[in-house]
Structure 1
């Protein structure tokens, strides 16, 4: 039974009360219930620091320079500081913290737009930089702000009414005109996925819209539309629970879906019980499948190889428990650390989750082997070494041209790498996307055939993909354009547990010169015919047929701040020419 069918199957009175009484059913108490907040950790608010002020000049940089972060950074700082003040006011009950919270909430209400410049399609249509307040664009930024205001109202309502009467009415007016009304009246937003293309914007925005209507402006019609949207997203998910957007975006895609479903389940008093809907249980396992341990993850597309460890693990913990997935619960607890994960709602729910607060971290073993056939991702682990190899196609969400590429981690740290997400600019999601070096197949662990790299589009894909234990076999020829002149490119990537090695073998037809690329972290230690030792966290040895020579080792400076934070100041690319076959072996470089 689908989510839509489950919702419609509830008695009308249950659905009506789920909307009208939701505030009373969410297990986050009002700040006026002081005993519920006693002893909880309170964030520190710097009352003397000036508030961030996102400026028009920063907004306009997107159109003038292609720079997104100049505005998105200060806008995020304003939201984060407001959320911190709200959280502090709820925990401490201190009037200085409450005044700071009110200041932050009022500043958010006074912003000309909550939309991020890169998404402001309506202004761009008119050739404007200044957004039109009468035609707000509902994007991630607008949804995030509405969600923050909704959760703030949930916990601080009586305190705000006493201290700053009228602020809550202003909050409701702004959320109605900027988010709830556009959500109801505009029904062709691209993130609704009406064309069948689903991505993380769907649950991310729908979840915040749901909180906004339940806590600020109860409207059954809005809740029905949210259920429709979430149902479309859930129905589009692969049966294996895989996420083609990767580990990093999983927290703002499937995890946002789980949070929205939890709100619906709480609001119905547990009667919705969506957790047995396929493939929710499998979706909850994705972070465990792709964890390389030690703070590193298997990354595909725009995913970071070293994601922020302060994720909302409590979300995964509740999800696993609701699905009866003991392995997910144990894994989530094993990662418990400092509170994390963007969003006021996440922080408030974490503080008032007694099962999560009582959970004691303990090691949870990662699976030796994970095969996700729908997204065509194989991850194999042995002591000290791991292999991840993907098939797929080149029209995935946040796509890189990487069909058939692989990652090798030694000691839990990627050595043969996927570079991951660069800092987004005006070209990141346009026809110029593949001008970025990190998105091109030449900067993945793939061949250049007949002078051609892989091309974008669903037609360019791995074929004949077959997992066999610790090995993945695939044909890469269809990932390349016809001018590459390749009829067959057979690749097998396997983890040799007995040797503690990864072996990648390539055979192609016709037997013509090709160039194989290997993107590497760290600095070279030795380099000679048939061998390269490179050190990042530890030495790693790559070996091949010495008759093919030493190949060419290129050093590429990394000046992008996101990539530099992961890989340091430079990466290397080993380029080796071969004619019909090539085999690479990767092992620890320790003697």
Structure 2
């Protein structure tokens, strides 16, 4: 299809005609890259980051570029496993990014420069930039655009700007040709793609990367029509991405996907803002500011971060993105530097955040720590409380929502408790991504199914997936001393006799906090069984003839006392495979109701206590 025959809207066409030229001034305040990188290389403030990048460079100099063979590529189709190909793929991106950064930091080093050119050559020689999990027979490989192909194109476009004086002309031309062939032309000629109107990270990452590459590479008068078409489609995708958030700015996919999707949204919005000289400004949208505030609401002390859905229980921050948002928006708080993600933290080795962790480091000052606060996220139906006392920092979070959320878990009524930066009651978060993980067997995985969450099993029934499986918030309130949250959850269960299930929490913000949990069940007849299940990564300790259960970390414990006449306690050690394919141990604490009735009220108390030396546990 001839791009010149496609018509664009007049407003965008006129806006494109007014765009400034692309260049290194988008990246460096004084438009002096050599000065910036010299300062970074010799600044005490960047010392740790530079040491990490240098150490990675030394490691990579001693290893060979991994091959992306057909055998590796075909494993996903044959076995459903993603890890083998992706490990090799991401290691190649690690070489590309590391030697690019080292070439900027050490421009006199021929060794780094030659390794970078070899990495560019290798990426340009790849049959596809897509991952095997994202290709299928419904669309030719040459027309497929996934997250990682879009990211790769954005990376190459940015490198042609930042290292253009050190790129051989033919290689720069090839990099630009490939971005046209694999991103620009398919995006315009072969769409629409299923991700274009996605209300989650795919629209932001794919369209944002393509739009960013276009803003960098399409800079001539003859490029205006194509750039207009790409920006129109990108703007539509970005609007769909923002639509996926409620006015509370919460990311139901979790903090990791906020970093990912919103990060690429911001990278694009920043380039668009700069090239349009402020005319095209996503940062003026109120909901974007609300989304920017989400990260600071997630941390429950230390690295413990609210991890409903496919998220990790312990997180770090992308310091560049965080500081940029804090500098851009009043009310967005800069994170403490101790939460900085180290260079190797991103196992996918993405260039855009790695670069901006250096470029945007000084957009805002560091803070000592997140302040204590309570957050009611009405649209997501989350409540989050972070409290601080002389005994430390403690956190509580609970959710309603529905069971068709992005990266959904069947987890209505799930909650977590943290103290001193450690989870005592946990959410397993994301497991190993395989074909079946996103297929019909998704909820057989403990990390996704209700069986791996702190929610009850009612008459043998677990929660089921589906948009109709939704919670109704009955109460939510916060004060200086307590947080209250209550939800009706009967719709979450495919249990015909269940008429009502009301779960309520009362979080008392004392020096050593305590949580009161009340579950009220109403069924049409007496159930055969009722199990209150709780999930922890800490091996439980039982005392006083199994009437007292302690979850111990160092000198802090979460104490749960139960009445043996009402419950039979069953503790089971279980295993699941985490996101990186490693076996992890967790424990389910099952309180079997001994005499279930049509109407039951279950009250349980979780309270933090300090331990005597004899009960300490590492």
- The two structures have a TM-score, normalised by structure 2, of 0.85
3-state DSSP of counterpart to 2:461? coil
Q: Is the 8 A contact 1:472 1:494 kept in 2?
A: yes
Alpha-carbon distance in structure 2 between the residues aligned to 1:319 and 1:9: 32
Asked if 1:138 corresponds to 2:138, the answer is no
Q: Does 1:37 align with 2:37?
A: yes
**Quick check: 1:505 aligned with 2:525?**
no
Check if 1:16 corresponds to 2:17: yes
Instruction: Kindly indicate whether residue 461 of structure 2 is the aligned counterpart of residue 441 of structure 1.
Output: no
Q: CA deviation at 1:242?
A: 0.7
Residues 559 and 206 of structure 1, relative CA distance in 2, 3 Å threshold = closer
For residue 584 of structure 1, the aligned residue among 580, 584, 604 is 604
The answer to which of 63-72 and 217-226 deviates more is 217-226
1:234 alignment partner, SS class:
helix
The structure-2 alpha-carbon separation of the partners of 1:489 and 1:13, relative to structure 1 and needing over 3 Å to count, comes to closer
- Give 1:129's aligned residue: none
Q: Where do residues 24-103 of structure 1 align in structure 2 (5 Å cutoff)? A: 24-28=24-28, 33-41=33-41, 43-44=53-54, 45=57, 46-93=60-107, 94-103=109-118
Counterpart position of 2:5: none
| Runs of 4 or more above 6 Å deviation | 7-11, 29-32
1:420 shift after superposition:
0.6
Q: Equivalent of 1:415, from 421, 424, 438?
A: 424
Cα distance change, pair 349–497 in 1 and its aligned pair in 2 (3 A) = closer
- For residues 296 and 14 of structure 1, do their structure 2 counterparts lie closer, same or farther at Cα, with a shift above 3 Å needed? same
Asked if the contact 1:448/1:515 (under 8 Å) is kept, the reply is yes
- CA deviation map 1:164-193 (0-9, x unaligned): x30011111111111111111233211112
2 CA distance for matches of 1:186 and 1:323?
38
1:522 is displaced (CA, Å) by: 1.2
CA distance in 2, matches of 1:278, 1:112: 42
Shift of 1:336: 4.7
Partner residue in 2 for 1:318:
324
Distance in 1, Cα, partners of 2:499 & 2:561: 27
The number of aligned residues is 560
| SS at structure 2 position matched to 1:22 | coil
1:543 aligns with 2:561: yes
What residue ranges of structure 2 are gaps of 5+ in the alignment? 1-7, 42-49, 220-226, 612-618
- The 2-side partners of 1:104 and 1:59 are apart by 19
| Equivalent in 400, 409, 430 of residue 391 of structure 1 | 400
| Residues 275, 281 of structure 1: 8 Å contact kept | yes
Return the alpha-carbon distance in structure 2 between the equivalents of residues 548 and 242 of structure 1. 39
CA distance in 1, matches of 2:430, 2:12: 46
Distance (Å, rounded) in 2 between the aligned partners of 1:514 and 1:170 = 64
Is 1:474 the counterpart of 2:481? The answer is no
2:537 to 501, 517, 521: 521
Q: 1:437 to 1:79 in 2, by over 3 A?
A: same
**RMSD (Å) for aligned C-alpha atoms:** 2.6
1:496 corresponds, among 493, 503, 508, to 508
- Match in the other structure for 2:590: 575
Q: In the TM superposition, what is the alpha-carbon distance from 1:99 to its structure 2 partner?
A: 1.4
Deviation at 1:9, TM superposition (A): 9.9
- Contact 1:420-1:563 at 8 Å conserved across structures: no
TM-fit CA distance, 1:24: 5.0
SS of the residue aligned with 2:251? coil
1:266 to 265, 271, 274: 274
Cα distance, 1:439 vs. partner? 1.0
Task: Work out whether residues 245 and 302 of structure 1, in 8 Å CA contact, stay in contact via their aligned partners in 2.
Answer: yes
* Counterpart in the other structure of 1:108: 123
- Point out the more displaced range, 468-477 or 89-98: 89-98
Please say if residues 411 and 449 of structure 2, whose CA atoms lie closer than 8 Å, have aligned partners that are also in contact: yes
Distance 1:388 1:474, change over 3 A: same
Matched, 1:245 2:245: no
Residue 374 (structure 1) shift: 0.3
Q: Give the Cα separation in 1 of the matches to 2:580 and 2:64.
A: 27
* Compared CA separation, residues 414 and 523, structure 1 to 2 (3 A): same
Secondary structure of 2:487's aligned partner: strand
CA distance in 2, matches of 1:200, 1:120: 18
Separation in 2, partners of 1:252, 1:138: 17
- For 1:412 and 1:585, how far apart are their aligned partners in 2? 21
Equivalent residue for 1:370?
375
CA 1:549 to 1:33, structure 2 compared with 1: closer, same or farther past 3 Å?
Answer: closer
d(CA) in 1 for partners of 2:324, 2:33: 24
2:228 maps to 1:227: no
More moved, 40-49 vs 290-299:
40-49
The Cα shift of 1:332 comes to 6.2
Is residue 554 of structure 1 aligned with residue 568 of structure 2? no
Alpha-carbon offset, residue 14 of structure 1: 4.8
* Contact 2:301–2:419 (8 Å) recurs in 1: no
Equivalent position of 1:456 in the other structure: 465
- Alpha carbons 1:454, 1:480 under 8 Å: kept: yes
Q: How does 1:164-313 map to 2 (within 5 A)?
A: 165-193=169-197, 197-218=198-219, 219-307=227-315, 309=316, 311-313=317-319
Report the Cα distance in structure 1 between the residues aligned to 2:567 and 2:24, rounded to whole angstroms.
71
Name the CA shift for 1:496/1:545 in 2 (closer, same or farther; >3 Å).
farther
Quick one: distance in 2 between partners of 1:360 and 1:321? 9
Closer/same/farther in 2, CA of residues 541 and 14 from structure 1, 3 Å limit: same
Following TM superposition, by how much is the alpha carbon of 1:407 offset from its aligned partner in structure 2, in angstroms? 0.7
CA contact (8 A) 2:296 2:333 kept: no
